[in-house]
Amino acid sequence: MPEPLTPTERKVYYYLLDFLSEHTYQPSVRDIGREFEIKSTKTVSELLQSLAKKGYIERDPSRSRGVRLLGFQAARRTQPVPYFGKIAAGEPALVPEHRAGFITMDRRFVPSEDCFYLRVMGESMVGRGLMDGDYVMIQPNVPLQDGEIVAARIGDEATVKTLEHRDGRISLVPAHPDEPIREYDPRSDDIVLLGRVCAVFRSLHDGPDSEGSLPA
Protein backbone atom coordinates (compact mmCIF):
# COMPACT_ATOMS: atom_id res chain seq x y z
CA MET A 1 0.00 0.00 0.00
CA PRO A 2 1.45 3.42 -0.93
CA GLU A 3 2.60 5.59 1.94
CA PRO A 4 0.22 8.52 2.63
CA LEU A 5 1.12 11.87 1.10
CA THR A 6 1.68 15.10 2.98
CA PRO A 7 -0.70 17.96 2.04
CA THR A 8 2.00 19.56 -0.17
CA GLU A 9 2.86 16.26 -1.85
CA ARG A 10 -0.83 15.66 -2.53
CA LYS A 11 -1.19 19.06 -4.21
CA VAL A 12 1.84 18.39 -6.40
CA TYR A 13 0.62 14.89 -7.28
CA TYR A 14 -2.81 16.16 -8.32
CA TYR A 15 -1.14 18.94 -10.29
CA LEU A 16 0.90 16.34 -12.18
CA LEU A 17 -2.28 14.38 -12.97
CA ASP A 18 -4.22 17.44 -14.12
CA PHE A 19 -1.33 18.89 -16.13
CA LEU A 20 -0.76 15.62 -17.99
CA SER A 21 -4.46 15.24 -18.75
CA GLU A 22 -4.62 18.75 -20.19
CA HIS A 23 -1.31 18.95 -22.04
CA THR A 24 -0.42 15.28 -22.76
CA TYR A 25 3.09 15.89 -21.38
CA GLN A 26 4.46 16.40 -17.90
CA PRO A 27 5.34 19.78 -16.37
CA SER A 28 8.99 20.62 -15.88
CA VAL A 29 10.56 21.19 -12.48
CA ARG A 30 10.38 24.93 -13.14
CA ASP A 31 6.68 24.66 -14.11
CA ILE A 32 5.97 23.01 -10.76
CA GLY A 33 7.97 25.64 -8.94
CA ARG A 34 6.02 28.47 -10.58
CA GLU A 35 2.68 26.80 -9.85
CA PHE A 36 3.40 26.48 -6.13
CA GLU A 37 5.67 29.53 -5.79
CA ILE A 38 8.67 27.38 -4.87
CA LYS A 39 11.83 29.24 -5.85
CA SER A 40 14.24 26.38 -5.25
CA THR A 41 14.41 23.69 -7.94
CA LYS A 42 16.09 21.52 -5.30
CA THR A 43 12.95 21.69 -3.16
CA VAL A 44 10.79 20.67 -6.13
CA SER A 45 13.15 17.79 -6.89
CA GLU A 46 12.94 16.64 -3.28
CA LEU A 47 9.12 16.66 -3.48
CA LEU A 48 9.23 14.59 -6.66
CA GLN A 49 11.74 12.22 -5.10
CA SER A 50 9.42 11.75 -2.12
CA LEU A 51 6.53 10.95 -4.47
CA ALA A 52 8.76 8.40 -6.20
CA LYS A 53 9.85 6.86 -2.90
CA LYS A 54 6.22 6.50 -1.81
CA GLY A 55 5.35 4.73 -5.06
CA TYR A 56 3.25 7.34 -6.86
CA ILE A 57 5.65 8.23 -9.69
CA GLU A 58 8.89 7.13 -11.34
CA ARG A 59 11.62 9.66 -12.10
CA ASP A 60 14.36 10.10 -14.66
CA PRO A 61 16.59 12.71 -12.97
CA SER A 62 18.46 13.34 -16.23
CA ARG A 63 15.35 14.88 -17.84
CA SER A 64 13.51 18.04 -16.85
CA ARG A 65 10.16 16.36 -17.53
CA GLY A 66 11.30 12.88 -16.58
CA VAL A 67 8.28 11.88 -14.51
CA ARG A 68 6.02 8.89 -15.10
CA LEU A 69 2.78 8.65 -13.15
CA LEU A 70 2.42 5.05 -12.07
CA GLY A 71 -0.90 3.52 -13.12
CA PHE A 72 -1.92 6.54 -15.18
CA GLN A 73 -3.39 5.95 -18.61
CA ALA A 74 -4.78 8.70 -20.80
CA ALA A 75 -8.56 8.50 -20.54
CA ARG A 76 -10.23 7.28 -23.71
CA ARG A 77 -13.92 6.96 -24.54
CA THR A 78 -14.83 9.41 -21.80
CA GLN A 79 -17.12 12.43 -21.82
CA PRO A 80 -17.14 15.50 -19.56
CA VAL A 81 -20.63 15.98 -18.10
CA PRO A 82 -21.25 19.52 -16.80
CA TYR A 83 -22.23 20.00 -13.19
CA PHE A 84 -24.44 23.00 -12.44
CA GLY A 85 -24.27 24.62 -9.03
CA LYS A 86 -27.23 26.96 -9.57
CA ILE A 87 -30.43 27.17 -11.59
CA ALA A 88 -31.44 30.36 -13.38
CA ALA A 89 -34.99 31.72 -13.31
CA GLY A 90 -36.59 31.74 -16.74
CA GLU A 91 -35.33 29.89 -19.77
CA PRO A 92 -32.74 28.66 -20.34
CA ALA A 93 -32.49 27.48 -16.75
CA LEU A 94 -28.90 26.26 -17.21
CA VAL A 95 -26.49 29.03 -18.12
CA PRO A 96 -22.70 28.70 -18.50
CA GLU A 97 -21.89 31.08 -15.65
CA HIS A 98 -23.69 28.74 -13.23
CA ARG A 99 -21.68 25.73 -14.32
CA ALA A 100 -19.56 24.60 -11.37
CA GLY A 101 -17.35 22.25 -13.37
CA PHE A 102 -17.40 18.87 -15.06
CA ILE A 103 -17.54 15.24 -13.97
CA THR A 104 -15.77 13.03 -16.49
CA MET A 105 -17.62 9.81 -17.21
CA ASP A 106 -17.14 6.70 -19.30
CA ARG A 107 -19.27 7.41 -22.39
CA ARG A 108 -21.04 4.08 -22.00
CA PHE A 109 -22.88 5.51 -18.99
CA VAL A 110 -23.92 8.83 -20.59
CA PRO A 111 -27.08 8.41 -22.71
CA SER A 112 -26.76 11.71 -24.60
CA GLU A 113 -24.36 14.60 -25.11
CA ASP A 114 -26.64 17.16 -23.41
CA CYS A 115 -26.78 15.39 -20.03
CA PHE A 116 -25.79 17.34 -16.92
CA TYR A 117 -25.39 16.80 -13.18
CA LEU A 118 -27.16 18.36 -10.21
CA ARG A 119 -26.72 17.55 -6.54
CA VAL A 120 -29.50 16.40 -4.24
CA MET A 121 -30.10 18.17 -0.93
CA GLY A 122 -32.54 16.67 1.54
CA GLU A 123 -34.19 13.31 2.03
CA SER A 124 -37.60 13.65 0.38
CA MET A 125 -36.71 10.97 -2.22
CA VAL A 126 -35.14 8.35 0.05
CA GLY A 127 -38.00 6.01 -0.76
CA ARG A 128 -36.79 5.95 -4.38
CA GLY A 129 -33.15 5.47 -3.41
CA LEU A 130 -31.93 9.08 -3.67
CA MET A 131 -29.96 10.32 -0.66
CA ASP A 132 -28.86 13.72 0.55
CA GLY A 133 -25.62 14.64 -1.27
CA ASP A 134 -26.13 12.33 -4.26
CA TYR A 135 -25.18 13.57 -7.71
CA VAL A 136 -27.97 12.89 -10.20
CA MET A 137 -27.43 12.88 -13.95
CA ILE A 138 -30.28 14.54 -15.82
CA GLN A 139 -31.18 13.66 -19.42
CA PRO A 140 -33.06 16.59 -20.98
CA ASN A 141 -35.05 16.75 -24.21
CA VAL A 142 -36.72 13.35 -23.81
CA PRO A 143 -40.42 12.53 -23.37
CA LEU A 144 -41.24 12.32 -19.66
CA GLN A 145 -43.64 9.70 -18.40
CA ASP A 146 -45.66 9.57 -15.21
CA GLY A 147 -43.82 7.58 -12.56
CA GLU A 148 -40.35 8.72 -13.67
CA ILE A 149 -38.04 10.66 -11.38
CA VAL A 150 -37.48 14.09 -12.90
CA ALA A 151 -35.73 17.35 -12.13
CA ALA A 152 -37.87 20.46 -12.29
CA ARG A 153 -37.24 24.19 -11.97
CA ILE A 154 -39.75 26.15 -9.90
CA GLY A 155 -38.84 29.82 -10.04
CA ASP A 156 -35.10 29.97 -9.50
CA GLU A 157 -34.93 26.72 -7.52
CA ALA A 158 -34.77 23.13 -8.65
CA THR A 159 -36.04 19.91 -7.16
CA VAL A 160 -36.16 16.22 -7.98
CA LYS A 161 -39.41 14.31 -7.54
CA THR A 162 -41.59 11.62 -9.13
CA LEU A 163 -43.67 13.06 -11.96
CA GLU A 164 -47.43 12.68 -12.24
CA HIS A 165 -50.06 14.53 -14.25
CA ARG A 166 -53.47 15.13 -12.65
CA ASP A 167 -56.31 16.99 -14.37
CA GLY A 168 -53.93 19.06 -16.49
CA ARG A 169 -51.71 19.88 -13.54
CA ILE A 170 -48.15 18.74 -12.84
CA SER A 171 -47.72 16.86 -9.59
CA LEU A 172 -44.28 16.45 -8.04
CA VAL A 173 -44.51 13.50 -5.67
CA PRO A 174 -41.93 12.95 -2.91
CA ALA A 175 -40.92 9.54 -1.59
CA HIS A 176 -40.96 10.46 2.08
CA PRO A 177 -44.03 10.26 4.34
CA ASP A 178 -43.41 13.68 5.89
CA GLU A 179 -43.24 15.55 2.58
CA PRO A 180 -46.37 16.84 0.81
CA ILE A 181 -47.24 16.38 -2.85
CA ARG A 182 -47.00 19.71 -4.67
CA GLU A 183 -49.11 20.54 -7.70
CA TYR A 184 -48.50 23.19 -10.35
CA ASP A 185 -50.47 24.60 -13.24
CA PRO A 186 -48.08 24.85 -16.22
CA ARG A 187 -50.26 27.61 -17.71
CA SER A 188 -49.74 29.99 -14.79
CA ASP A 189 -46.97 28.67 -12.53
CA ASP A 190 -43.29 29.26 -13.27
CA ILE A 191 -42.34 25.60 -13.64
CA VAL A 192 -40.11 23.86 -16.18
CA LEU A 193 -39.36 20.14 -16.31
CA LEU A 194 -35.58 19.94 -16.82
CA GLY A 195 -35.34 16.26 -17.67
CA ARG A 196 -35.28 12.70 -16.43
CA VAL A 197 -32.96 11.39 -13.73
CA CYS A 198 -30.98 8.70 -15.57
CA ALA A 199 -28.09 7.95 -13.20
CA VAL A 200 -26.98 8.51 -9.60
CA PHE A 201 -23.46 8.89 -8.24
CA ARG A 202 -22.95 8.52 -4.51
CA SER A 203 -19.67 9.09 -2.72
CA LEU A 204 -19.10 7.03 0.41
CA HIS A 205 -16.25 9.13 1.77
CA ASP A 206 -16.28 12.46 3.53
CA GLY A 207 -14.96 15.10 1.16
CA PRO A 208 -15.22 18.86 0.81
CA ASP A 209 -18.75 20.09 0.23
CA SER A 210 -19.57 21.02 -3.34
CA GLU A 211 -21.41 24.23 -4.01
CA GLY A 212 -24.85 24.05 -5.42
CA SER A 213 -27.44 21.51 -4.41
CA LEU A 214 -31.04 20.99 -5.32
CA PRO A 215 -33.72 20.22 -2.75
CA ALA A 216 -35.04 16.68 -2.98
Per residue, the 3-state secondary structure of the chain, as one string, reads CCCCCCHHHHHHHHHHHHHHHHHCCCCCHHHHHHHHCCCCHHHHHHHHHHHHHCCCEEECCCCCCCEEECCCCCCCCEEEEEEECCCCCCCCCCCHHHEEEEEEEEHHHCCCCCCEEEEEECCCCHHHCCCCCCEEEEECCCCCCCCCEEEEEECCEEEEEEEEEECCEEEEECCCCCCCCEEECCCCCCEEEEEEEEEEECCCCCCCCCCCCEEC
Q: What is the mean pLDDT of residues 63-77?
A: 73
User: For residue 117, what pLDDT is reported?
Assistant: 93
Q: Which domains, from first to last, does the chain contain?
A: 7-69 (1.10.10.10), 78-215 (2.10.109.10)
The model's pTM: 0.68
pLDDT (tens digit per residue) in 78-134: 778 888 877 766 666 777 778 888 888 888 899 988 899 998 989 999 999 999 999
- 97-105: long-range contacts, CB 8 A cutoff, minimum separation 24: 98/212, 100/210, 100/211, 100/212, 103/135, 103/201, 104/75, 104/78, 104/79, 104/80, 105/78, 105/79, 105/80, 105/81
Q: What is the mean pLDDT of residues 186-209?
A: 85
- The answer to whether residue 2 scores a pLDDT higher than 60 is no
User: For residue 148, what pLDDT is reported?
Assistant: 97
CB-based contacts of 204: which residues, under 8 Å, 6+ apart?
A: none
Instruction: Quote the mean pLDDT of the chain.
Output: 86
As a whole number of angstroms, the distance between CA 173 and CA 89 comes to 22
**Catalytic residue chosen out of the listed positions 39, 54, 86, 124:** 124
Q: CA 85, 87, 93: angle at the middle one, nearest 5? A: 130
Q: What is the mean pLDDT of residues 205-211?
A: 55
Q: What is the mean pLDDT of residues 178-190?
A: 93
Whether 124 sits among the annotated catalytic residues: the reply is yes
User: For residue 55, what pLDDT is reported?
Assistant: 86
- The answer to whether residue 39 scores a pLDDT higher than 50 is yes
**Catalytic residue chosen out of the listed positions 161, 203, 210, 213:** 161
Say if residues 172 and 159 touch (Cβ distance below 8 Å). Answer: yes
46 conformational bin, left if phi > 0, alpha if psi -120 to 50, beta if neither: alpha
Q: Is the model more confident about 94 or about 209? A: 94
pLDDT (tens digit per residue) in 7-24: 999 999 989 988 888 888
- The answer to whether residue 51 scores a pLDDT higher than 80 is yes
